[in-house]
Amino acid sequence: MTDPRRTFTDVRWFGELDSTNAWLLEAARSGIAEGTVVVADRQSAGRGRLGRRWESKPGSGLLVSLLFRPRIEAGDLFSVAALGTLAAREAVAAVAGVDARVKWPNDLVVDDVKLAGVLSETSGIGTDDLAVVVGIGINLSWPAPGPDATALNAVCLDTLAGRPIDGKALLEALLDAAEARRPMLDDASGRAGLIRELAGCTATIGRHVRVELPGETFFGTAVSMDEHGHLVVDLGGDRRVVTAADVVHLR
Ligand code: BT5
């Protein structure tokens, strides 16, 4: 049977890397093609947003990065990360039967506990040579219940599904979901559709939140996501548009 995938076909699986995002970003700068997918069993320096770390013991998570070369403006970059988040969400539903929600901007959570994180990084922004690496970490079998999991406020798919989940099957489902949405990046209505779809499964909207910015913290109610994926927060009349921050869901 021919592979129905056309974009995400070149999958490179490593035993260990510092970071799948770091590897793919470097390769992107050297001209590697859109659709290259990098997976690692373990990462020695897994990256989160804002210089944070992604923790994953060997073989305990799906650690994958996908390369996109979309022809988009910087203001539309959120749609690429949104595609990655939606693909991860669809994959955990398909393979593990888990209905995850999104914590803005790109975490997958179940009952406000983090199952997966997404980190999008770029090179060549503002040029004809834009490359966007979308890195996704999904907890498969770690953290086990215990201090680590509690400290991270993390959960894994095995626990949620009540059975072992196969990382390869999860990867296949994720790539299929990414492939199906890839054409949406090519026009404005498709990109808007990705943001709308993400907003529709974002648990942050409607929640009372604490927004943590460098040097400033404020409270409000998250009311919507704008067309760029920014979070609109109501402060009791005044509205603020949050572009990059940490948001904490409050009860
Ligand atoms: C993220 O950052 O959630 C993005 C994580 C992206 C990881 C993937 S793995 C493949 C690819 N290659 C990389 O190097 N990175 C990507 P952020 O929103 O900043 O969240 C990071 C925070 O999540 C940390 O500071 C911890 O509090 C928490 N955390 C770390 N590891 C975790 C885990 N395994 N499960 C749940 N939470 C975790």
Write down the pLDDT at residue 151.
74
Instruction: Check residue 249 and give its pLDDT.
Output: 93
Closest ligand 1 atom to 18 CA = 14
CB atoms < 10 A from the CB of 163, how many? 10
Residues of the chain with pLDDT under 70: 1-3, 143-150
pTM over 0.85: yes
Q: What would the pLDDT profile of 152-182 be if each residue is shown by its tens digit?
A: 789 999 999 999 999 999 999 999 999 999 9
* Strand partners for 40: 14, 63
Residue whose structure tokens are 């260990």: 16
Among the atoms of ligand 1, which is closest to the Cα of residue 20? 12
Residue with the smallest CA separation from ligand 1 atom 2 is: 48
Q: Which residue's entry shows tokens 């210089």?
A: 51
CB-count burial class (<10 Å; 0-12, 13-18, 19+) for 226: middle
pLDDT given for residue 144 in this prediction: 54
Q: Is the CB of 85 under 6 A from ligand 1?
A: no
Which atom of ligand 1 has the smallest separation from the CA of 117?
A: 3
Q: How far is the CA of 91 from the centre of ligand 1 (A)?
A: 18
Q: How far is the CA of 53 from the centre of ligand 1 (A)?
A: 6
Q: Tell whether ligand 1 has an atom less than 6 A from the beta carbon of residue 63.
A: yes
CA atoms of 171 and 95, how far apart (whole Å): 10
Residue nearest to atom 26 of ligand 1 (CA): 152
- What is d(CA 251, CA 111) in angstroms, rounded to the nearest whole number? 12
Give helix 188-200 / helix 78-96 axis angle, nearest 10°.
50
pLDDT tens string 31-56: 999 999 999 999 999 999 988 999 88
